[in-house]
Structure formats: C-alpha cells, structure tokens
Amino acid sequence: MLPGERTVTVVDRNGMPVWWPNLFHAYELRNAGRSYATQKRTMSAIVAAFNWAEGRDIDIEARIASFEYLDYADTKSLQALLKLNVASERKGSRRAVGNGYWDARCRGVRDYVRWRAGEAMQRLMRPEAPDAPAMLYRMAGDGLERFEETLLSGIGNDNETETMGLDESQRASLLEAIVPGSPTNPFEKRHQFRNFALILSIYEMGARNGETLGLKREDLHLYGDAPSIEIHRRHNDPKDPRSRPPATKTKARLLPISAALADVLGTWLTDHRSNVSVYPNAGPCPYVFLSERGRPIASNTVERIFVALRKVEGIPPWLTAHKLRHTFNDRFSELIDTLPEDVLRPAIEARMRNFLNGWSPTSEQGENYRRRFVRTKAHELLSKLQNLSALGAARS
C-alpha cells in the first residue's frame, strides 16, 4: 500500500479477511484506480449480499461454482435489500437510497458474481474438462445473463427534475447572493469572499465538488493572457489531513477560466486567504480553499454553505454543488445553440463536452446533462407550432 492510502478489507465475524471478496477488491477496484468512495460502496454492497444470503442458508460461492444462480424471486429479494440505506437500518429505520446509488450497488454485486463466474466458466473450456463443455458453457452463460438482467431490471432513473440545473432567474439569484456585501448574502462577513471564490469556481468550471476541494495553489495559473486551472486525480494523498478526502472520479485536465474568475481567485489568495486572523496556519497549507482553522475545507462545510444558499429567495431548495455541474452543462448547450449549425457537428460537441467534464472521449454521460436543455427546446418548438396552428385557425 502507498503511504496514507485508505483501503477496504472484508472480514468475517471473527475479524479474519475473506479471501474472494478481498481478491476482487484488490484486482478489480484498487488496482484499477477506483476512488475510495467507489471501493467502499461496492464492497459494502457485496458484504450486504453475502449477509443476505447467509440469512437464507444460501451459499453464494457454491452457487456460482455450480452455475446455479439465484432464481427470480431470490434475485428480486436481494435487489430490494440493496435499496435499503445501511446506516438508517442500523438505527432502526428502513430508509431507501436513491435510484442512482441503488443501481450502483446492484452493479457492484453483478460485477462480483460475473468475476467469480468467469473463473468457474474458464475451467469448462480447459482440455482436461469433462465432455460437452461447450454446452455447459452456454448454459452457464445464459444463467448468468438472466441473473444480471433480473438484478438490474426495474430500478429506473431518478426523477428527471433531480438532474436539472438552474434556470436563468435562479442563476441570477445565486450569483447575486454570493457576491460579498450583497444584501442577500447569507454568510458571515469574514467568510464571504472565500465562499464567493469557491461557489464561483464550481459554477464556472463545471467541476465536481471533490475536484474543487482538491485544488492546490500550484494548480492555479491566474496570470497572463490564458488563465487556467489544472484538475488532478490525487487519490490517497498523504498530505491531505481530512478524514474524508475529496474524491476525483473524472480525468485529469487543464481548464481555461475567465479573466473574472482568475481575478476573484487571485484576490482570494492574496488578500483574504493570507489573513491569519481568519485563517490561521494558512501559509503551509497547499490547498486553495480553507476552513476557519487554516486546514483544507471539508465537504460537510461546503454542504453547510449550500444549506445557507438554499434559504435565499429565488434559489431552489434542491441546490447542491452537483446541480451547478448540471447548470454548467446547460450553459454549454445554450452556447452551442447560438452557433451556426455547421460550426460544431454533434460528434465534436460531444467530445468537447466530455473533455470539459473529465469524461472519457466515448462517454455518453453528456446526454444525461443535456436533458433539461433538450426538453426546454422541445417546449419552445411545440409552443411555436401551437401558435402557428392558432394563427391558421384565426385566418380561416
């Protein structure tokens, strides 16, 4: 393990490591560079599946080895179990997780079963395998496919409104509220400029919350004709003292920023961050955004910032850092819509969007972020069509 690296270990009731789940974690998650949050979410789902199976006298490993996967009823029972919030269940309640998180947990279990089944299925194709291995291989593959389809079916997407960004009026309310000295600014005066620089950075860059919290001063290039910010993946940084270091899921990239944002960040660094009466111990800290103790700001502090903003008139009660990421993509779509049709082909637009968001070049994630813009445009066209119909009726 690397110095300061956080990891996940599955143990039995006696505290002893469990072989196969930990091997899966090492090969498929840790060595693949998955974030700690992803490792923990996936392995907690696998542990939940094993505990569920034990309560029903089902030996998951034996089932996989013999290609006797769970039947429909058992698979749906497991799927329902994975929807429960583990933390709330421990407190005696049975709250459910969101559909996106539920889907990720089910896919984690699916990936583990597929990984284990792959090893068992490979044995069927070895020279020393018994007769008719091809038929058994097809049967095993069909059974695995049925299990996977059943486990992932019926989950659905989160409500579409949950993936929307801010409309123009809400954006104006937000930008007015974060300006230091604004009548609608909900923050303590001493932290107004920090919060201004932080929220404006998230708003303008479209970066994930974890990416913004992970910024170091060396990542900022604020002077010259082309100011920019470097986004880096820094998993398990031994210099990060936070109990929950921010995760960076997306690719490293260099993002150009506006002169206005560069000016705000420069003013924050030189005039406010350096104020030891407000941010003690700020000097040796490499991170851009700090807590009042001069340490890198924590995600729960950022959540409190958004809680305060959600109380401002004109700002919706569902505003989060991630909703600003959706807002960035809405603004990008609006900008593309102002360009002549022959300037950007759809494929080039998709590649540009994927780069700016840190997704892979072939990612289809952008379609989720374009949903609001497409719906708005569809409503506009429908209104125009209806107006034309009304005019035609009036003339007849």
pLDDT tens string 228-241? 999 887 766 777 88
Amino acid at 96: A
Give start and end residues of each alpha helix (H) in 179-225. 192-205, 209-213
| 331 closest CA partner among 128, 174, 101, 116 | 174
Reported as a single tens digit per residue, the pLDDT across 35-60 is 788 899 999 999 999 999 999 999 99
Per-residue pLDDT at 269 exceeds 70 = yes
- What's the pLDDT at 366? 60
Give the tokens for residue 236. Answer: 């398990």
Taking the CA atoms of residue 144, residue 148, residue 153 and residue 156 in that order, the dihedral angle to the nearest 10 degrees is -160
Complete edge-to-edge strand list for the sheet that includes strand 220-221: 220-221, 228-231, 253-256
Give the tokens for residue 149. Answer: 């389809």
Average pLDDT over residues 218-235: 88
Per-residue pLDDT at 273 exceeds 90 = yes
- What's the pLDDT at 82? 95
| Contacts for 311 with CB less than 8 Å, ≥ 6 apart | 186
User: How far from chain centre, in Å, is Cα 39?
Assistant: 13
Per-residue pLDDT at 268 exceeds 70 = yes
- What's the pLDDT at 188? 95
Quote the DSSP letter at residue 125: T
- What's the pLDDT at 348? 53
Question: Alpha carbon of 185 to those of 77, 135, 260, 306, 338: distances in Å?
Answer: 48, 69, 19, 12, 32
- What's the pLDDT at 131? 54
Quote the mean pLDDT of the chain. 82
Average pLDDT over residues 315-334: 88
Per-residue pLDDT at 62 exceeds 90 = yes
- d(C-alpha 51, C-alpha 82), whole Å: 11
- What's the pLDDT at 349? 57
- d(C-alpha 53, C-alpha 60), whole Å: 7
Average pLDDT over residues 353-364: 63
- What's the pLDDT at 360? 65
- d(C-alpha 207, C-alpha 197), whole Å: 14
Reported as a single tens digit per residue, the pLDDT across 63-98 is 999 889 999 999 999 999 999 987 655 555 568 888
Average pLDDT over residues 24-30: 92
DSSP-assigned letters across all residues of 241-284: --SSPPP--S--EEEE--HHHHHHHHHIIIIITT-TTTSTTTTT
- List domains and CATH numbers for the chain: 19-158 (no CATH), 162-326 (1.10.443.10)
Contact 295, 273 (CB under 8 A): no
Average pLDDT over residues 151-175: 79
- d(C-alpha 153, C-alpha 149), whole Å: 6
